[in-house]
Structure 1
Amino acid sequence: MKLDLIVRARQILTLDPANPVATSVGVIGDRIVGFDAELDGCEAVRVEDFGDATVTPGLIDAHCHTAWWGLGLAAIDLSKARGLDEIYALVEAEVERLADDPHAWVHGTGFNQAHHGGAFPDIARLDELTGDRPLYLRHTSGHASITNTATLRLVGALEPGFENPTGGVVVRDAAGAPTGLVEEAAQGLVQALLLPYATDRLVEALEAATSRYAEQGITSFSEAGVGGGWIGHSPVEVAAYQAAAERGRLHARAQLMPALDALHPLRAHAADFAGEGSGSGLDLGIRYGFGDDLVRFGHVKVFLDGSLLGATAAVTEDYCGHSHNTGYLLDDPAVYRDRVLGAYRAGWPLALHAIGDAAIDLALDLIEEAQSRYGRLAAPCRIEHFGIARPDQVSRAGALGLAVTPQAGFIGPIGDQMAQMVGPERADWLYRGRSVIDAGIVLAGSSDLPVADNNLRRGMQAAVDRVTDSGAVLTASEAITREEALRTHTEWAARATGQLADKGTLERGKLADFTVFSASPLDAPSIAELDIVATVLGGNLSYDARGRD
């Protein structure tokens, strides 16, 4: 019997200590069946010889927002604008482009006030440009948006007696007039006017996004929040991922984290749900791990606080330059406790968004209680971002056996901004690396796309050198090795997502997912400057740069 595929290269880094380096790997179906001498005498239907390139396990992005980014590809890109006049010009041009459709919204994404001297667009100027046309400009963090008066009128924010929703704020000036800035869960008021997106539209967005993932060497990703809250796009959002997979339009494996708001109370036999007979989940008791190799459920995603750039992440000491501002939790801790414990005992490992140290305290308390009451689940609980982590929190997370996803890719583009927000006394706590590994925590690599780009090579290099765009070094003692950086997006990301049995290293029986680098990320002068030669998903090329101009 012939193999389906043999892949050859100068160097295949398996990350398997029993067989760390190979030069050939054989595939039947979508699984690895052997290496090197094990393939002697074997023929294959296809042979892919990548010459002097280096093959590694397929890269995994352990926390990103694929549908959000895919939908945003059609919006105004605000990330490259410098100065509010450029923002206004982009909005004006989009209004002109939409002139034939009086009901079309103006959408934009990627705004960062740091690119505009700390200033936000003036709502009066936006009103002049847009008139009665709704406007929705997303902040790069995803935790805030900029709107105009027409939009605020639609959501009722101008009505007497309007109250901010739990976990969000329609920001107002000293006179009580809206500034156009909408924070956190208050964005849901705007999104309610846009949702749900049609499944076919989501499929288009997923195809656009994941085809670009393949270009970056990404074979798997965890979608950090679907189906509910302000992060979801449709109550049937999972159907879009299934449809994309069925139609051959999903070019990377998706692990979907349902937002906590997508879960609802469930009752079952008294012996179920850790012997309490009640929990929180999806219909029929579907829980973590349900699905197939292309689309599968992951952890439950829970937002505890906001963003560092927006100064809404919950911290124990004031932000620099923001007197009496310590951010805020997005709900009452008692509410979180009830809902989170209900999800955990129904079989959902926890992925708790916690950037500020006050939020991390709550995350650790919730995880510790869940694990002590109901035991540890097969997949580790996670703290997403772990952005401003005190030394005692690092030690505690290690003792609890957690995984964390601090984004090394933030260090370049927004590292200086983050350090300025927290000040020199806390800068050493930002988006850690070395101390996390040394504490026995699983350090999972992630981009948080579209907050930062998903060039994971750039993120891996940042984890190694921790250099910001200004040339400063953000806590040199937190730097990790090249091999560790590679493992954050392979083995350790697979551990954090509970999928190490199928991916993360190259071993017999695992999925044939490979990333082909132009040279070895372990010894190239810069990981960030390496090219992606090809990406192989289940034995098939999802991207191939050979022969391209």
Structure 2
Amino acid sequence: MKLDLIVRASEILTMDPARPPATAVGVINGRIVGLDEEIAGLDAERELDFGDAVVTPGLIDAHCHTAWWGLGLAALDLSKARGLDEIYSLIEAEVARLDAAGDTDSWVHGTGFNQAHHGGHFPDIAKLDALTGDRPIYLRHTSGHASITNTATLRLVGALEPGFENPTGGVVVRDADGNPTGLVEEAAQGLVQALLLPYSTERLVEALEAATTRYAAEGITSFTEAGVGGGWIGHSPIEVAAYQSAADQGRLRARAQLMPAIDALRPLTGHAADFAREGAGSGLDLGIRTGFGTDVVRFGHVKVFLDGSLLGATAAVTEDYCGHDHNTGYLLDDPAAYRERVLGAYRAGWPLALHAIGDAAIDLALDLIAEAQERYGAHPVPCRIEHFGIARPDQVERAGALGIAVTPQAGFIGPIGDQMAELVGPDREPFLYRGRSVIDAGIILAGSSDLPVADNNLRRGMQAAVDRRTDSGRILTAAEGITPEEALRTHTEWAARATGQIADKGTLERGKFADFAVFSASPLTAPDMRDLDIVATLVGGDITFDSRA
């Protein structure tokens, strides 16, 4: 027998508890057929020897926003600006560029705004109006849960009309005199996006190619897209077609698992036998449900937003945010409405991925998961709570008892950890984006970036999961630190379990995908994982990134 590929390195970390590290792995048809002695004496069509580098399973980002980030690569990058004057200068230059090109119709797009970089202040709508005139503007907050607009944009969405009412789950923020400030929160962003959507399939394919090419450079071989096809997180009613087209054209550089937004689901009809136990529920057309797809593009959980963001102080909490008297954030819909929709999706075969950052939202998420599992049985794929941002000890214990997975973003700790700690105060700081207590409670801890809220340099996120150090040097609850091996498992084995894909990925075992990340040294023993380089990335045995080229 002749293999397609043999990969060699000084150390291959299989992450398989039953097998020690190896030095060689064999591949046929994109899957692993053996390691070391199992392939001894066999030849291969190709051989890749990475020398002193260390090979691991390909990294999995269990919650990110690929299309959003890819589209934003062409927008103004506001993340590096410091001081509102710099923001205004960027906008002024963009308007001048568009004017010089004779483009009178295009919007000014920006992404990555964070008020912490500007003394806690947001742009003045009057200043924005002076810079942009009648040209619409759409600046996305780094959290994704808010955006900044001008009067021209608000006029287009009808927010200046008498009798305007905020949509369910969102707010067009106004000052004490009732005048819009330009800040648009949560679901109210959908009013603005309705003027821009849908994006064309070709534009989305371009965005996916740009994004996943960059994923490959970070060692990422699989990702879960946390919301497609509906709500303010979706980009087109036929968004899935863009992923399929990108895959068909060889322009998708990583395996995609797609979470349909619950807004994309609709009531199902079928044979009377399918309506036992309270009806067929709600899902996608033709009864498509989780797991449907190919090795490259496949459906995962259903995505449900329960609350907002911590940075925007819209996440639903049980105690006021520090410096925000009488503000406990808010749920984005009525609990009874959530219950009806979520239970309908679950009984139709969709495991739940519930966005819940604040502890009040986590309470609701746990209640919904508990009722779904009690009434309809546990799904083979674990339900998830996305972010699990401010989790009380009793909630950690209950989540463990329910057998769920959670995705707290360790990558937040560096760039926005200080900001989060200031918002919740010292008493609640130990509840933030936990690690150790989650593992000890028996919860599956899945690693994710939430790109573009934070970058997807997963080595930086893994190091933060270990040392809990913010960019200012503050340690955010040292007791929640985990080991380097556990940090690597969050983006390999445990991410695969949380996404329901452990049979195909997450560890290097016979029969699994030949998806590899090649590190310049071992992430298990490196003094600081942030200092490691990604040497190469392989998906199905094919190189998607090679720093040596």
**Contact 1:60-1:490 within 8 A present in 2 as well:** yes
**Contact 1:408-1:463 within 8 A present in 2 as well:** yes
**Contact 1:141-1:451 within 8 A present in 2 as well:** yes
Aligned pairs for 1:44-443 (under 5 A) are: 44-99=44-99, 100-272=102-274, 275-443=277-445
TM-superposed CA distance for 1:271, in Å, is 3.0
**Contact 1:271-1:277 within 8 A present in 2 as well:** no
Distance in 2, Cα, partners of 1:273 & 1:38: 50
TM-superposed CA distance for 1:273, in Å, is 5.7
Distance in 2, Cα, partners of 1:277 & 1:476: 48
Once the two structures are overlaid, the 10-residue window that deviates more, 261-270 or 399-408, is: 261-270
Secondary structure of the residue aligned to 2:153 is helix
**Contact 1:269-1:277 within 8 A present in 2 as well:** no
Identify which of 517, 520, 523 aligns with 1:518: 520
**Contact 1:268-1:277 within 8 A present in 2 as well:** no
Secondary structure of the residue aligned to 2:212 is helix
Secondary structure of the residue aligned to 1:216 is coil
Distance in 1, Cα, partners of 2:480 & 2:30: 37
AA in 2 matched with 1:247: Q
Partner residue, 2:447: 445
TM-superposed CA distance for 1:505, in Å, is 0.2
Secondary structure of the residue aligned to 2:485 is helix
- Where structure 2 has 5 or more consecutive residues not aligned to the other structure, the ranges are none
CA offsets 1:217-245 (integer angstroms, 9 cap, x no match)? 00000000000000000000000000000
Going from structure 1 to structure 2, the CA distance change for 1:118 and 1:273 (only over 3 Å counts) comes to farther
TM-superposed CA distance for 1:2, in Å, is 1.2
Secondary structure of the residue aligned to 1:23 is strand
Distance in 2, Cα, partners of 1:492 & 1:380: 12
TM-superposed CA distance for 1:528, in Å, is 0.9
Partner residue, 1:532: 534
Partner residue, 1:9: 9
Secondary structure of the residue aligned to 1:166 is coil
Query: What's the % identity of the aligned pairs?
Result: 83
TM-superposed CA distance for 1:275, in Å, is 3.1
Distance in 1, Cα, partners of 2:276 & 2:266: 17
Identify which of 486, 489, 492 aligns with 1:490: 492
Distance in 1, Cα, partners of 2:385 & 2:31: 31
Distance in 2, Cα, partners of 1:153 & 1:446: 37
**Contact 1:273-1:345 within 8 A present in 2 as well:** no
Partner residue, 1:29: 29
Secondary structure of the residue aligned to 1:494 is helix
CA offsets 1:316-338 (integer angstroms, 9 cap, x no match)? 00000000000000000000000
AA in 2 matched with 1:363: A
Distance in 2, Cα, partners of 1:75 & 1:24: 43
Partner residue, 2:506: 504
Partner residue, 2:544: 542
Distance in 2, Cα, partners of 1:174 & 1:19: 64
CA offsets 1:390-409 (integer angstroms, 9 cap, x no match)? 00000000000000000000
AA in 2 matched with 1:355: I
Distance in 1, Cα, partners of 2:195 & 2:488: 42
Secondary structure of the residue aligned to 1:533 is strand
TM-superposed CA distance for 1:37, in Å, is 1.2
AA in 2 matched with 1:206: L
**Contact 1:214-1:542 within 8 A present in 2 as well:** yes
Distance in 2, Cα, partners of 1:271 & 1:487: 42
AA in 1 matched with 2:494: W
TM-superposed CA distance for 1:19, in Å, is 1.3
TM-superposed CA distance for 1:17, in Å, is 1.7
Secondary structure of the residue aligned to 1:267 is coil
TM-superposed CA distance for 1:272, in Å, is 2.1
AA in 1 matched with 2:77: D
Secondary structure of the residue aligned to 1:271 is helix
Report the number of matched residues: 547
AA in 1 matched with 2:22: A
Distance in 1, Cα, partners of 2:276 & 2:203: 40
CA offsets 1:386-437 (integer angstroms, 9 cap, x no match)? 0000000000000000000000000000000000000001000000000000
- Where structure 1 has 5 or more consecutive residues not aligned to the other structure, the ranges are none
TM-superposed CA distance for 1:41, in Å, is 1.5
Going from structure 1 to structure 2, the CA distance change for 1:389 and 1:273 (only over 3 Å counts) comes to farther
Distance in 1, Cα, partners of 2:226 & 2:382: 16
CA offsets 1:72-129 (integer angstroms, 9 cap, x no match)? 0000000000000000000001101111100000000000000000000000000000
Secondary structure of the residue aligned to 2:272 is coil
Secondary structure of the residue aligned to 1:98 is helix
AA in 2 matched with 1:234: S
AA in 2 matched with 1:27: V
TM-superposed CA distance for 1:503, in Å, is 0.1
Distance in 2, Cα, partners of 1:523 & 1:543: 24
AA in 2 matched with 1:5: L
Determine if the alignment matches structure 1 residue 41 to structure 2 residue 38: no
Distance in 2, Cα, partners of 1:464 & 1:497: 23
Secondary structure of the residue aligned to 2:34 is strand
TM-superposed CA distance for 1:38, in Å, is 1.2
Distance in 2, Cα, partners of 1:389 & 1:510: 34
Distance in 1, Cα, partners of 2:132 & 2:511: 57
**Contact 1:270-1:276 within 8 A present in 2 as well:** no
CA offsets 1:185-224 (integer angstroms, 9 cap, x no match)? 0000000000000000000000000000000000000000
TM-score (norm 2): 0.99
TM-superposed CA distance for 1:274, in Å, is 5.7
Distance in 1, Cα, partners of 2:423 & 2:413: 14
TM-superposed CA distance for 1:40, in Å, is 1.5
RMSD: 0.6
